[in-house]
Structure 1
Amino acid sequence: MPISTAIFWPVIAQVALIHLIYFLMLKRRSGAMRAGTAKASDFWVPAIEPEPSATVARSLINQFELPMLFFLVCTLLYVTAGVNHVVVAVAWLFVLSRYAHAWVHVTSNRLRIRQRLFVSGFVLNFSLWLLFAIHLLGI
């Protein structure tokens, strides 16, 4: 596999995480309705959604925030031939941080751990953008 296209494997893994969270949200919402703790109209307004599915819904929203910058920088690095082994390694670390963040979010939801994982993902994402800028400068 050429290193230039290797950047798409972490992208695919991030997209897989988004799909996993969608499935988990569907499972938790269906479970809440079957258990009688929620009705379909409860999901119209997130403020009244049961906590088990509300945390998953919030986790899903998180996957359309910082990861969007990840998708963009990966695409830009590919288009400008800026993909190298360091870039791919940082991309994988970012995705691993997102999986860990999502896991904590939909299980224990411990804010202190979640925050550390978010910050690590943020720094890794910033690093990808910095690597992209350095590539553009030809350094």
Structure 2
Amino acid sequence: MFPAQAMMIPVFVQVTLTIFLFARVAAIRNSEIRADTSLLKTAAIDSTRYSQKAQQLANNYNSQFQAPVLFYAIVAFAMLTASESFLLAALGGLFVLTRIIHSTVHTGSNNVLHRFMSFAAGYLVLALMWFVFGFTYFL
């Protein structure tokens, strides 16, 4: 396996997580709309009309378009500049693991301290990825 291939594994896992969360949000919202058709009009303007669980999942789904954007960018830039490495691949895997933990906590117990710890750990790994990339690219 080449470093570029190894770097794509965490990308595919992150994309799978995002698609999975979308499917869960869609299924819950669909179920709630079937149970209360008035949601079709009210939720179109105010998504807080859905249940707390649906909102929790939707919030977590939306968070997949925040920090992971910097992850996708670092992978793309590393590949475009031929700076890919097994170290970046391992850090990418660690970042995605923190995202899975964050999602599990956010959509489960929703313990804010645990959620923050996994979020902060992910950002630290992401910052390290950018540092490694910068060091490799400029030196």
TM-score (norm 2): 0.91
Deviation at 1:33, TM superposition (A): 2.6
Give the counterpart letter for 2:96 in structure 1.
V
Moved over 3 A (4+): 34-38
1:17 and 2:17 are equivalent in the alignment: yes
SS of equivalent residue, structure 2 residue 79: helix
| Residue 55 of structure 1: aligned partner | 56
Identical columns (%)? 25
CA contact (8 A) 1:11 1:71 kept: yes
CA contact (8 A) 2:7 2:86 kept: no
Counterpart mapping for 1:97-108 below 5 A: 97-108=98-109
| Residue 122 of structure 1: aligned partner | 123
Do the aligned partners of residues 8 and 34 (structure 1) sit closer, same or farther apart at CA in structure 2, a change above 3 Å counting? Answer: same
SS of equivalent residue, structure 1 residue 20: helix
| Residue 2 of structure 1: aligned partner | 2
Deviation at 1:109, TM superposition (A): 1.2
Gaps of 5+ in 2: none
| Residue 27 of structure 2: aligned partner | 27
Structure-2 separation of matches of 1:130 and 1:90: 11
Gaps of 5+ in 1: none
Do the aligned partners of residues 118 and 37 (structure 1) sit closer, same or farther apart at CA in structure 2, a change above 3 Å counting? Answer: farther
